[in-house]
Amino acid sequence: MADLSVNFCGIKAPNPFWLASAPPTDKAYNIERAFRAGWGGVVWKTLGEEGPPVVNVSGPRYGVVHGADRRITAFNNIELITDRPLEVNLQEITEMKRRWPDRAIVVSLMVPCEEEAWKKILPRVEATGADGIELNFGCPHGMSERGMGSAVGQVPEYVEMVTRWCKTHSRMPVIVKLTPNISDIRKPAEAAKRGGADAVSLINTINSIVGVDLERMIPSPHTDGKATHGGMCGPAVKPIALNMVAEIARSPATHGLPISGIGGIETWRDAAEFMALGCGTVQVCTAAMVYGFKIVQEMITGLEAFMDEKGYSKISDFVGAAVPNVTDWQYLNLNYAVKAKIDQDLCIKCGRCHVACEDTSHQAITHLVNGERHFEVIEEECVGCNLCASVCPIENCISMEPLVNEIDRRTGRMVDGSYLNWTQHPNNPSAAKKLQPAE
Ligand X SMILES: Cc1cc2nc3c(=O)[nH]c(=O)nc-3n(C[C@H](O)[C@H](O)[C@H](O)COP(=O)(O)O)c2cc1C
| Nearer Cβ to ligand X (4/133) | 133
Pick the binder of ligand X from 263, 278, 280, 384 (CB under 6 A).
263
Q: Does 208 bind ligand X (CB under 6 A)?
A: no
Distances (CA, A) of 346 to 294, 341, 343, 373, 390: 37, 12, 6, 15, 15
CA distance 301 to 81: 33
CA distance 202 to 193: 14
| Nearer Cβ to ligand X (206/322) | 206
Region class of 128: left (phi > 0), else alpha (psi between -120 and 50), else beta? alpha
| Nearer Cβ to ligand SF4 (391/420) | 391
Nearest to 43 by CA among 64, 26, 63: 26
Distances (CA, A) of 354 to 226, 374, 375, 410: 45, 10, 7, 18
Nearest to 103 by CA among 45, 36, 170: 36
Rounded least distance, CB 230 to ligand X, Å: 9
Q: Does 259 bind ligand X (CB under 6 A)?
A: no
For residue 203, whether the previous peptide bond is cis, meaning omega lies within 30 degrees of 0, is: yes
Q: Does 243 bind ligand X (CB under 6 A)?
A: no
Is there a catalytic annotation at residue 279?
A: no
**Which residues, numbered 88-127, are part of the site for ligand X (CB under 6 A)?**
108
Using DSSP's 3-state secondary structure scheme, residue 135 falls into strand
CA distance 244 to 203: 8
Rounded least distance, CB 136 to ligand SF4, Å: 44
CB 204 within 8 A of CB 231: yes
Pick the binder of ligand X from 177, 222, 250, 339 (CB under 6 A).
177
| Nearer Cβ to ligand X (109/356) | 109
Pick the binder of ligand X from 14, 79, 249, 375 (CB under 6 A).
79
| Nearer Cβ to ligand X (237/365) | 237
Rounded least distance, CB 326 to ligand X, Å: 21
| Nearer Cβ to ligand X (205/424) | 205
Cα end-to-end span (Å), the chain:
34
Chain contacts with ligand SF4 (rule: CB under 6 A): 340, 342, 347-353, 356-357, 361-362, 364-365, 375, 377, 382-388, 392, 394, 397-398
Chain centre distance of CA 99: 31
Out of 9, 113, 139, 388, pick the active-site residue.
139
Rounded least distance, CB 372 to ligand X, Å: 48
Q: Does 144 bind ligand X (CB under 6 A)?
A: no
Name the one range near ligand X by CB under 6 A: 8-16, 17-25, 349-357, 360-368: 17-25
| Nearer Cβ to ligand X (245/387) | 245
Binding at 282: pick from ligand X, ligand SF4, none (beta carbon under 5-8 Å per type) = none
| Nearer Cβ to ligand SF4 (111/340) | 340
CB 81 within 8 A of CB 136: yes
CB 74 within 8 A of CB 234: yes
Distances (CA, A) of 314 to 9, 13, 101, 282, 306: 16, 13, 22, 15, 11
Pick the binder of ligand X from 13, 285, 296, 319 (CB under 6 A).
285
**Which residues, numbered 389-418, are part of the site for ligand X (CB under 6 A)?**
none
CB 72 within 8 A of CB 66: yes
CA distance 55 to 48: 12
Name the one range near ligand X by CB under 6 A: 18-26, 94-102, 164-172, 363-371: 18-26
Binding at 350: pick from ligand SF4, ligand X, none (beta carbon under 5-8 Å per type) = ligand SF4
Q: Does 46 bind ligand X (CB under 6 A)?
A: yes
Contact characters 210-239, ligand X, x per CB under 6 A? -----------------------xx--x--
Q: Does 286 bind ligand X (CB under 6 A)?
A: yes
Pick the binder of ligand X from 181, 205, 281, 361 (CB under 6 A).
205
Binding at 255: pick from ligand X, ligand SF4, none (beta carbon under 5-8 Å per type) = none
Count Cα atoms within 13 angstroms, Cβ side, for 277: 24
Rounded least distance, CB 366 to ligand SF4, Å: 10
CA distance 17 to 315: 12
CA distance 388 to 384: 9
Q: Output the furthest CA–CA distance in the chain (Å, rounded).
A: 81
Which active-site residues does the annotation give?
139
Binding residues for ligand X, rule: CB under 6 A, are: 20-23, 45-46, 75, 77, 79, 81, 108, 136, 138-139, 177, 204-205, 233-234, 237, 262-265, 284-287
